[in-house]
Structure formats: structure tokens, C-alpha cells
Amino acid sequence: MDELQADPATTAVMEAIRARRSIRKYKPDPVDEGKLRLVIEAAILAPNAFNAQPWDFVVVTAPETRAKVAAVVMGGHRRLFGEARKDAVAGAELEERLMRFSGLAQAPAFIVPCLHRKRLPLKEGFDSHAAFWDVLSVGAAVENLIIAATALGLGTCWMGSLALREEALKELLDIPAAAQIAGVLALGQPDESPKPRPRDPFEQVVHYDRW
């Protein structure tokens, strides 16, 4: 075990996983095009059921479009914190909470991963199984992208509140009706160093041989 932990490749991967944070404040510097391509390539290399590759990615770097995406994102957050959550808030408290996410608008790039089922390998009666695995495959692709970005010194924030304003984003980015948006990823140089969020203990969530 000690030899495994000392292996440089293992160390680099685990360092990136442990260093990952949800970054909500970004420096204005544009993302290097080579790094941008690398994180997308990492996503494309993700494990996926039946090699169906059920994904497409919309990369947004044009300033005007980024501003519009950021506005839709903030609208999603407004509905999330003001309506959808069990601890929904309103008025000044809502505005204060939204201010914590205002730095996302400064991200120099947004990536919009989409579930796009281009290949249907199973018969109709069994397709629900493939559909479930396609969702997991897109999640694996996003995770690859996030870890690759962290390893390259970039920050990310995977935002799911867009589910509350999906149609607005589809219209803005010409995303076809058959595709489903799997959130929006902010990407750029971090302008904050948040502490890690708590995790349930290893012993509490891991079960050997049986639950």
C-alpha cells in the first residue's frame, strides 16, 4: 500500500481529486486554448456504457454569450434558493445568498455538457436500462473534465440549477430539443481557495462483502 501511495502517477491523480473545489470566483484571464481542448478530451475519454458516447459539449467563450449564459445561470440560482429548496428564502436574505454566486459571471469560459443519445443499443423494451446508464456516462465525462481541469491548475463549478431554466439556455445556445442539459460548468483561473466540504467517514459508507 505504501508503494502504491508513493507511485508518482497515483500521487498526481489523488492530488487532483483531493484538490478539487467548487470555485465561485474567477480571475478574468482567458483559458489557454490548449488546456481547454485537453479538458474536453478528458471528458470524451470517460467510461460509458456500450460505448454509446451519449454526450455533446457546448463551449462558451465569447464575452457577449458568456454574459447571457451567466444571466440564465443566476436566474436558475434565484429559483433554486427562492422557490425550490426546502429552506427557501426571500427578500434581502435571497439577494445576500445570490451574491455568493455573483463571481461565477466572471468565469472566462462556460462548458455546457449535454446528454445526447445518438446510439440506442438495446431493444425498445430494455431501453430504460440504457437510458439510465447514459446519464451515468455523462456524469463520468463531467467528472473526468473536472479532475483534468484541477490537474491543469484551473477551477470549475458544476451548476445544476440550470434544470430550472433549461429551455432558456437551449434557446440561447441552439441546443436541440432531443438533448438534455447536464448543468453548466464554469471554468477559469481560481480567484479563491475554499476549504474542503465535509464528507461522511469512509467507515460509514463502505461495506465489505455485504451491507
Q: What would the grid cell of residue 1 be?
A: 500500500
pLDDT in tens, 136-187: 999 999 999 999 999 999 999 999 987 889 999 999 999 999 999 999 999 9
pLDDT band at 207 (very low <50, low <70, confident <90, very high): very high
Is residue 74 pLDDT above 70, yes or no? yes
pLDDT band at 10 (very low <50, low <70, confident <90, very high): confident
- 157 bridge partner residues: 186
Residue 5 or residue 205, greater confidence? 205
Is residue 2 pLDDT above 70, yes or no? no
Q: Is the CB of residue 121 less than 8 Å from the CB of residue 50?
A: yes
pLDDT in tens, 79-121: 999 999 999 999 999 999 999 999 999 999 999 999 999 999 8
| Cα 41 from Cα 25, distance rounded (Å) | 25
Q: What's the confidence (pLDDT) of residue 58?
A: 98
Comparing C-alpha atoms, which of 183, 49, 182 is closest to residue 119? 49
Q: What's the confidence (pLDDT) of residue 4?
A: 57
pTM of full prediction above 0.85: yes
Q: What's the confidence (pLDDT) of residue 144?
A: 98
The CA radius of gyration of the chain, in Å to the nearest whole number, is: 19
Q: What's the confidence (pLDDT) of residue 1?
A: 55
Query: Which run of H or of E encompasses 166?
Result: helix 166-173
Q: Was domain 22-192 assigned CATH 3.40.50.300? A: no
For residues 7-28, give the mean pLDDT. 90
For residues 184-194, give the mean pLDDT. 97
